[in-house]
């Protein structure tokens, strides 16, 4: 984790140095705002990784030079199988934005109703059926 912290820290320093130089050379407020946000978000990731690196009780196998491949074996976490719910949630979101573009308020209300179904299905997908926990 420490290597990732240093990499993001160097990126944050780079963006903090480039942002004022870009402002003085280009005088572009949009690009300057984008570079400022990039620097701040990179600092946020650096802070998160640094805090996690300090809280870890032991080093990860990826951080040790003497680690073997078998040291990283074991359960890595839960990865969900295929799901159709993200497709329906995206379709309902597209319908809502289409309704906003056309100012079709009846379609927007209908998309909110369908969105509640799609999001509920996505959230509660693992409580019933084949992949229930």
Domain ranges of the chain: 2-67, 85-127
The pLDDT score that the predictor gives to residue 51 is 94
Structure tokens at 28: 């572009």
Low-confidence ranges of the chain (pLDDT < 50): none
Q: Report how far residue 12's alpha carbon sits from residue 44's, in angstroms, rounded to the nearest whole number.
A: 9
Between CA 39 and CA 6 the distance in angstroms is 14
Residue 124: strand, helix, or coil = coil
**pTM of the entire predicted model:** 0.57
């Amino acid at each position: 984790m420490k290597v990732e912290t240093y990499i993001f820290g160097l990126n944050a320093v780079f963006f903090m140095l480039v942002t004022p130089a870009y402002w003085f050379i280009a005088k572009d407020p949009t690009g300057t705002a984008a570079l400022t946000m990039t620097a701040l978000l990179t600092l946020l990731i650096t802070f998160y990784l640094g805090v996690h690196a300090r809280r870890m009780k032991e080093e990860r196998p990826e951080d040790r030079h003497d680690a073997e491949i078998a040291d990283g074996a074991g359960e890595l976490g839960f990865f969900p199988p295929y799901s159709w719910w993200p497709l329906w949630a995206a379709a309902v979101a597209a319908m809502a934005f289409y309704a906003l573009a056309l100012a079709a308020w009846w379609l927007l209300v209908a998309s909110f109703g369908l969105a509640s179904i799609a999001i509920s299905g996505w959230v509660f997908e693992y409580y019933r059926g084949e992949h229930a926990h």
